[in-house]
Amino acid sequence: MQTSDENAVSEGGAVAVATGEPAPPAPPDRAQSGKLGRPWIIVAGIVILAVAAGVIYVVAGGIKTVKVSLTEYKVGMTQTTFQTGKVKLSIANDGKIGHELLVFRSDLTAAQYPKEDGNIAEDGPGITQVSDGEDIDPGQTQTRTVDLSTPGTYVFVCNQPGHYAAGMYTTVVVK
């Protein structure tokens, strides 16, 4: 003889206590079916776009990659505060003329850097050159790793004649 509780159990094990009828089947488990739903697609799309736009770091082999855009007369970076450590710079000359990217560390403000003929005196007092690279032609890119292990203020600058004086630099803080 079956009790009323035994009659209330459906094939899937769900109980419809009030009616004695089998309970409707549970909705499918999306994680098990491989269907995560639209919110995950939207989040994945946003992350992909943010990485492509350089909004977030890309970590490769423990070194963060940061995109830098050089145009007339701007050093464009989506982020100007970093944690100490090595950073891989992906530098693109998005301008119409040649540029370069130098990195200096100093307690001086960019306006206080020692100058020579209107440009930064690259071996001047009070500044330390951390990184230098080849000139970058329009439409070209350059990749290099920069050691930002010392906390402080850094200046990322194009020091081609007249470019620094035109304001082509960005101040970066490393904590």
57-88 pLDDT, tens digit each: 444 457 899 999 999 999 999 899 999 999 99
In a domain, 77, yes or no: yes
In a domain, 42, yes or no: no
Domains: count for the chain = 1
| Per-residue pLDDT tens digits for 87-133 | 999 999 999 999 999 999 999 999 999 999 999 999 999 999 999 99
In a domain, 135, yes or no: yes
In a domain, 119, yes or no: yes
Range of the domain at 122: 59-174
In a domain, 67, yes or no: yes
| Per-residue pLDDT tens digits for 1-59 | 444 444 444 444 444 455 556 666 655 555 555 555 566 556 555 555 555 444 444 44
Give me the pLDDT at residue 57, please.
Answer: 45
| Per-residue pLDDT tens digits for 141-170 | 999 999 999 999 999 999 999 999 999 999
Give me the pLDDT at residue 149, please.
Answer: 96
CA dihedral 113, 117, 118, 119 (to 10 degrees): -60
In a domain, 122, yes or no: yes
Give me the pLDDT at residue 35, please.
Answer: 54
Longest dimension (CA), the chain: 103
In a domain, 110, yes or no: yes
Give me the pLDDT at residue 16, please.
Answer: 47
Give me the pLDDT at residue 159, please.
Answer: 97
CATH code at position 103 = 2.60.40.420
In a domain, 4, yes or no: no
